[in-house]
Amino acid sequence: MPVNLPTNMLRSFAAIVDSGSMLNATERVFVTQSALSLQIKRLEELIQQTLFHRDGRRLALTPAGELLLGYTRRILAIHDEAVAAVSAGACAGPVRIGMVQDFADLLLGGLLARFGELHPEAQIFARVAGTAELQQMLERAQLDLIIGYAATDDARALRVAPTHWYGAEALAMRDEIPLVVLEKPCRFREAAIAALDAAGRRWRIAVETPNLSTLKAAVVAGLGLTSRTGLFLRDLVPLRAEGLPVLPDVSCILLRGDGVGAAATRLAHLAAEEVCALPDL
The residue extents of the domains of the chain are 7-86, 96-158+252-277, 163-248
pLDDT 10s digits, 117-140: 777 777 788 888 888 899 998 888
Residue 191 has pLDDT above 90, yes or no: yes
Please state the separation of Cα 223 from the chain's center in Å.
Answer: 29
- Mean pLDDT computed over every residue of the chain: 84
Residue 92 has pLDDT above 70, yes or no: no
Rounded-to-integer distance, Cα 143 and Cα 280, Å: 28
Model-level pTM? 0.63
pLDDT 10s digits, 145-178: 999 888 888 877 888 888 999 999 999 999 999 9
Q: What pLDDT does 224 receive?
A: 95
Give me Rg for the CA atoms of the chain.
21
Rounded-to-integer distance, Cα 182 and Cα 190, Å: 10
What is the CATH architecture assignment of 7-86?
Orthogonal Bundle (1.10)
| Across 186-204, average pLDDT | 94
Preceding omega of 94 cis (within 30 degrees of 0):
yes
pLDDT 10s digits, 229-281: 887 676 778 888 788 999 999 888 888 887 777 778 888 888 888 887 777 65
Domains 96-158+252-277 and 163-248 share a fold: yes
* Residue 209 half-sphere exposure toward CB, CA atoms < 13 A: 17
96-158+252-277 is classed CATH 3.40.190.10: yes
Show the CA angle centred on residue 30, arms to residues 28 and 36, nearest 5°. 90
Q: How confident is the model at residue 41 (pLDDT cuts 50, 70, 90)?
A: very high
Rounded-to-integer distance, Cα 29 and Cα 12, Å: 6
- Kind of pairing between the strands at 226-229 and 163-166: antiparallel
Rounded-to-integer distance, Cα 252 and Cα 181, Å: 19
What is the CATH architecture assignment of 163-248?
3-Layer(aba) Sandwich (3.40)
